[in-house]
Amino acid sequence: MYEIVSKKILNPTVTQMEIKAPLVAKKARPGQFIILRTDEMGERIPLTVAGTDPAAGTVKIIFQIVGGTTEKLNHKEAGDYLQDFVGPLGVASKLEGKKRVCVVGGGVGCAIAMPVAQALHAQGTEVVSIIGFRNKDLLILEDEFEACSDKLVVMTDDGSYARQGNVTVPLKEMLEAGERFDEVITIGPLIMMKFVVAACKPFGVPVTASMNPIMIDGTGMCGGCRLTLEKDGKKVTRFACVDGPDFNGYEIDFDEAMSRGRMYTDFERHAYEKACNLFKKAE
């Protein structure tokens, strides 16, 4: 069992927790993730390592409440325990040798992007961050990004805060104005990442996208997280949990990934409603 050491509500749908897991805390690098189960009958869900404190043996996670398991997780408090917590999984992001990088995050993807931006900043890379949210209420981690970015642009879809529009708008402007990046790193909804890749293509900037397919084991055993890449004109299958989650954006079949991501939509809606009803009854 793994103790929840602290809990902080970042916004109405995003929560941050620190979990006691010393082995993971010692090992995890930016870009890696963990898999947890809240209870004996629970689902295994992947969440990115949003920071570690190796001395205290804690791992930070930031999650958005989107369905049954994240709802159950959000009902846990500091001092409660998680049934399982395994990691670090996946390959750490490759950040060495980069002089100037643009980090593009969308929604809760910003939580996944943050440790990467921080690591880049810490190694002396010049970081330009573009973070986007649907509206002002959903904004998270602005201060954290401010602290680790040489330049920060905040966008909201509806214009309720900062600048209105998609993250691709300022990205295109910068690229068109001749700004150079060694790499664009994008993390967020699949549709957003697809458009980030499209925006970068005419300029030939390398794009790395962090993929979040549905996972179970996270060790390469089930193949459920597979995605199709096109490498040198040939289609190849890769497992996001062991080969990723970072992939070359230009090679990813985003349409297929979006379709696979919706496999259990009906089931998930039921599970979410069930979890919500359960907590309503309990209250």
Partner 1 sequence: MAIIPKKHEMPTQDARVRARNFLEVATGYPLEVAVEEAKRCLNCKNRPCVDGCPVNIDIPDFIKLIAERNFEGAYQVISHSSSLPAVCGRVCPQETQCESKCTLGVKFEPVGIGRLERFAADYHNEHAAAPAEIPAANGHRVAVVGSGPSGLTCAGDLAKKGYSVSVFEALHTAGGVLVYGIPEFRLPKSIVAKEVATLKELGVDVQTNVVIGKTLTIDELFEEGYQAVFVGSGAGLPNFMGIPGESLKGVYSANEFLTRSNLMKAYLDSPDTPIMKGGKVAVVGGGNVAMDAARTALRLGAEHVYIVYRRSMEELPARKEEVEHAMEEGIDFRLLNNPVEILGYQDPENPRNPMNGFVTGMRCIRMELGEPDARGRRRPIPVEGSEFMLDVDAVVMAIGTSPNPLIKDTTEGLEVNSHGGIIVNEDGLTSRDGVYAGGDAVTGAATVISAMGAGKVAAKAIDAYLMTK
Ligand X SMILES: Cc1cc2nc3c(=O)[nH]c(=O)nc-3n(C[C@H](O)[C@H](O)[C@H](O)COP(=O)(O)OP(=O)(O)OC[C@H]3O[C@@H](n4cnc5c(N)ncnc54)[C@H](O)[C@@H]3O)c2cc1C
User: Facing residues of 6 across strands?
Assistant: 18
Burial of 271-282, coded b for 16+ CB within 10 Å and e otherwise, reads bbeebeeeeeee
* Contact of 102 with 184, CB cutoff 8 Å: yes
Pairing of strands 163-164, 151-156: parallel
Place of tokens 């809606």: 269
Q: In this structure, what token pair is assigned to residue 164?
A: 């209105």
Tell whether the torsion through CA atoms of 154, 160, 163 and 166 is positive or negative.
positive
Kindly identify the residues of this chain, within the stretch 239-268, that bind ligand FES according to CB under 6 A.
239, 241
| Segment interacting with ligand FES, rule: CB under 6 A, options 22-30, 138-146, 221-229, 246-254 | 221-229
Q: In this structure, what token pair is assigned to residue 281?
A: 């009854």
* Contact of 136 with 154, CB cutoff 8 Å: no
Q: To the nearest whole angstrom, how small is the minimum distance from the Cβ of residue 243 to ligand FES? A: 9
| Segment interacting with ligand FES, rule: CB under 6 A, options 78-86, 95-103, 129-137, 218-226 | 218-226
Residue 39 binds ligand FES (CB under 6 A) = no
Considering only 43, 126, 142, 157, the residue that binds partner 1 (CB under 8 A) is 43
Kindly identify the residues of this chain, within the stretch 253-272, that bind ligand X according to CB under 6 A.
261-262, 268, 271-272
Q: Closest by alpha carbon to 63, among 28, 29, 107?
A: 107
x/- site string to ligand X, residues 160 to 199, per CB under 6 A?
A: ----------------------------------------
Rounded to whole angstroms, the Cα distance separating 43 from 184 reads 33
Nearer to ligand FES, 10 or 229 (CB): 229
Rounded to whole angstroms, the Cα distance separating 177 from 203 reads 11
Q: To the nearest whole angstrom, how small is the minimum distance from the Cβ of residue 89 to ligand FES? A: 9
Nearer to ligand FES, 120 or 215 (CB): 215
Nearer to ligand FES, 115 or 218 (CB): 218
Interface residues with partner 1 (CB under 8 A) are: 23-24, 27, 37, 41-44, 68-69, 83-89, 216-217, 219-224, 226-228, 237, 242, 256, 259-260, 262-268, 271
Interface residues with ligand FES (CB under 6 A) are: 215-218, 220-225, 239, 241
